[in-house]
């Protein structure tokens, strides 16, 4: 390679790695702000601000969903297997909402550290399977469940 | 310096000749076109009619057969554009500049396709068309980078300057590719992590992922076809004063 080309190659590498390092450091510094949601552990530890709009993500705890028979009000617990918080929501839940499903709820934390949600989104996991396979896995108790770290990075 | 070893393969230098590139792409085109047509038609029929539905999402999961190939391709296309741009910068190779220029509009349309199919899937599955999570936002930035490259090419009249500045822009934007890829692992996102990884078994049975693989290869072939057609066009336009192009035109 002649010296001219070598010099240009060095400049190109410098651009790519220089920008990479700069952006990498920025992202590292902003890391918490890039997260879409707080995990239940973080909320329990008081890392999430109160009375401002936040999102909380976690798994709906089995058996915790309580629906009000006269309205759309629903209360459920969210967990990442380390911490658990209670969510109150008044509205229509997404189709994928059920116990054991990962969800992301947007709302405000009240004085009891309960989330008063204004929006609930279902978080789909990376597992896809036909219904028969799902049934068989469910019976044998081998259904893949999201791990705690999915909600707590 | 005469004994200095030439460490680049011969075809790399042959690619520098617009005429040689034009001819070789003309020879490759029909093969890729046939592959693309067969794979895309076969893959679509397989995906829509024979692949089983998902236990949770039902039939709406089938949009994966467009969404995933287009998202993968949008990123690969960007990498190709940046590498071609770098080759153009370092070796001053005109054909590489033309390839980089031809990549941008194709990549932009594929990125739009990935974002649109994702939004259409997101509404029934998540309950929202759009969420500002790290994966979706970085993918949107990719689209803006493509649009920036297209804008630079059309804003600068001088072809060499336009190629240089858009190559620098695409190299700067290259940092976005690993961010898109790892966004779902580094941060809490609504978008699910990858179903396919090189190290683990896919989180999907074979009767679902084989048609997906067919679609991915089909998308790549289709991309090759459109890229070669665009690049050949670009070669003819830029070399319009060369004698071989004139001969070619007179023959028709």
Identify the pLDDT of residue B157. 92
Whether A150 is covered by a domain: the verdict is no
**3-state SS, residue B29:** helix
- Interface of chain B toward chain A, CB-CB under 8 angstroms: 7, 52-57, 61, 64, 86, 89-91, 124-128, 131-134, 168, 171-172, 174-175, 179, 185-190, 192-195, 203-205, 207-208
Examine residue A144 and state whether it is found in any structural domain, yes or no.
no
For B136-140, what is the mean pLDDT? 96
CA distance A35 to chain B (A): 5
- Give the per-residue pLDDT at A140: 81
Q: Residue A68 domain-assigned? A: yes
Same domain as A84, residue A11: no
- pLDDT higher at B101 or A45: B101
In angstroms, what is the C-alpha Rg of chain A? 22
Across the interface, do B188 and A39 touch by the CB < 8 Å criterion?
yes
Choose the mutation target among A126, A131, A133, A138 for the interface with B, i.e. most B CBs under 10 Å: A126
Of the candidate ranges A51-55, A104-108, B34-38, the one whose mean pLDDT is the lowest: A51-55
Helix axis angle, B159-173 to A3-34, nearest 10°: 40
Nearest residue, CB atoms, A5 vs list B90, B128, B195: B90
Query: Do residue A8 and residue A61 come from a single domain?
Result: no
Same domain, A64 and A11: no
The structural domain count of chain A equals 2
Lowest mean pLDDT among A7-11, A117-121, B54-58, B92-96: B54-58
Are the beta carbons of A128 and B192 separated by less than 8 Å? no
Examine the domain organization and report whether A21 and A54 are in the same domain: no
Q: Give the angle subtended at the CA of B85 by the CAs of B29 and B220, to the nearest 5°.
A: 35
Closest approach of B186 to chain A, Cα-based (Å): 7
* CA–CA distance, B74 with B108 (Å, rounded to integer): 7
Co-location of A22 and A52 in the same domain: no
Segment B209-216 shows an average pLDDT of 94
The CATH number for A60's domain is 2.40.50.140
pLDDT over 90 at A136, yes or no: no
Please state which of the ranges A116-125, B74-83, B104-113 shows the lowest mean pLDDT: A116-125
DSSP secondary structure of A72-119: SEEEEEEE-SS-EEEEEEESPPPTT--TT-EEEEEEEE-TTS-EEEEE
- Assigned domain for A117 exists: yes
pLDDT of residue A91: 86
Residue A152 lies in a domain: no
A70-79, A131-140, B79-88: least confidently modelled range: A131-140
pLDDT at A134: 83
User: What residue in B sits closest to A19 (Cα-Cα)?
Assistant: B172
Q: What is the mean pLDDT of chain B?
A: 91
pLDDT band at B8 (very low <50, low <70, confident <90, very high): confident
Answer yes or no: do A25 and A43 share one domain: no
Q: Say yes or no: A26 and A96 in one domain.
A: no
Q: Which of B67, B75, B7, B51 is nearest to B204 (CA)?
A: B51
Q: How many CB atoms lie within 10 A of CB B96?
A: 23
Pairwise CB contact (< 8 Å): B56 & A124: yes
Q: Could you give the angle at the alpha carbon of B141 between the alpha carbons of B137 and B145, nearest 5°?
A: 170
Say which residue, B2 or A8, is predicted with more confidence: A8
Is A127 part of any domain?
A: no
Residues in CB range of A114: below 8 A, 6 or more apart: A85, A86, A87, A88
Query: A111 and A61 share a domain?
Result: yes
Q: Which of B8, B188, B191 to mutate to test the interface with A (most CBs of A within 10 A)?
A: B188
Please check whether residues A2 and A21 belong to one and the same domain: yes
User: Is A128 annotated in some ligand binding site?
Assistant: yes
Which of A6, A34, A100 to mutate to test binding with chain B, by most B CBs within 10 Å of its CB? A34
Distance CA A33, CA A16 (A): 25
CA distance B194 to chain A (A): 6
Q: Which pLDDT score is estimated for B5? A: 58
- What is the average pLDDT value for chain A, to the nearest integer? 87
Contact B193 A126 (CB under 8 A): yes
CA distance A133 to chain B (A): 8
The region that residue A125 occupies, defined by phi over 0 for left and psi between -120 and 50 for alpha, beta otherwise, is: beta
What integer pLDDT is reported at residue B203 of this predicted model?
A: 82
Cβ separation of B208 and A129 shorter than 8 Å? yes
User: What single-letter DSSP state applies at residue B58?
Assistant: B
Distance CA(B134)–CA(B139), nearest Å, equals 8
Listed in sequence order, the residues at least 6 apart from A36 whose beta carbon sits closer than 8 Å to its beta carbon are A55, A57, A104, B131, B132, B133, B134, B187, B188, B189, B190
- Please indicate, yes or no, whether residues A22 and A41 belong to a single structural domain of this protein: no
Looking at the fold, whether A67 and A115 belong to one and the same domain comes out as: yes
The string of pLDDT tens digits covering residues B62-72 is: 999 999 999 99
**Average pLDDT for B34-50:** 95
Range of the domain at A25: 1-30
Out of B91, B126, B205, closest to residue A133 by CB: B205
Q: Are residues A102 and A73 in contact, defined by beta-carbon separation less than 8 angstroms?
A: no
Domain assignment present for A90: yes
Does residue A124 have a known ligand-binding role? Answer: yes
* pLDDT for residue B136: 95
Is the predicted pLDDT of residue B2 greater than 50, yes or no? no
Structure tokens at B146: 């493509």
In a domain, A118, yes or no: yes
The verdict on A85 and A60 lying in the same domain is yes
């Amino acid at each position: 390679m002649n010296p001219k080309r070598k010099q240009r190659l060095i400049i190109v590498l410098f651009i790519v790695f220089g920008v990479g390092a700069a952006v990498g450091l920025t992202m590292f510094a902003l890391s918490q702000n890039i997260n879409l949601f707080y995990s239940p552990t973080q909320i329990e530890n008081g890392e999430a601000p109160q009375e401002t709009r936040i999102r909380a993500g976690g798994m709906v705890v089995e058996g915790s969903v309580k629906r009000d028979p006269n309205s759309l009000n629903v209360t459920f617990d969210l967990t990442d297997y380390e911490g658990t918080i209670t969510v109150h929501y008044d509205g229509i839940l997404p189709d994928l909402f059920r116990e054991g499903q990962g969800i992301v709820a947007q709302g405000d934390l009240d004085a009891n550290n309960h989330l008063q949600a204004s929006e609930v989104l279902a978080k789909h996991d990376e597992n896809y399977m036909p219904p028969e396979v799902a049934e068989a896995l469910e019976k044998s108790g081998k259904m893949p469940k999201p791990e705690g770290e999915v909600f707590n990075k | 310096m005469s004994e200095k070893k030439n460490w680049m393969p011969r075809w790399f230098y042959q690619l520098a000749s617009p005429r040689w590139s034009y001819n070789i792409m003309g020879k490759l085109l029909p093969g890729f076109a046939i592959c693309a047509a067969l794979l895309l038609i076969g893959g679509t029929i397989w995906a829509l009619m024979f692949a089983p539905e998902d236990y949770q999402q039902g039939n709406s999961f089938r949009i994966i057969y467009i969404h995933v190939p287009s998202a993968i391709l949008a990123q690969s296309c960007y990498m190709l554009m940046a590498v071609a741009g770098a080759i153009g910068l370092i070796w001053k190779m005109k054909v590489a500049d033309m390839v980089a220029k031809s990549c941008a509009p194709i990549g932009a349309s594929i990125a739009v396709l990935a974002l649109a199919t994702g939004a259409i899937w997101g509404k029934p599955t998540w309950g929202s068309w759009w969420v500002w999570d790290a994966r979706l936002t970085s993918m949107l930035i990719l689209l803006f980078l493509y649009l920036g490259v297209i804008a630079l090419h059309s804003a600068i009249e001088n072809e060499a300057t336009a190629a240089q500045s858009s190559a620098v822009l695409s190299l700067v934007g290259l940092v976005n590719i690993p961010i898109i890829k790892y966004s779902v692992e580094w941060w809490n996102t609504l978008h699910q992590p990858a179903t396919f990884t090189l190290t683990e078994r896919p989180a999907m049975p074979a009767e679902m992922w084989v048609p997906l693989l067919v679609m991915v290869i089909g998308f790549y072939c289709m991309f090759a076809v459109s890229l070669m057609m665009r690049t050949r066009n670009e070669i003819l336009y830029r070399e319009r004063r060369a004698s071989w192009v004139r001969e070619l035109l007179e023959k028709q």
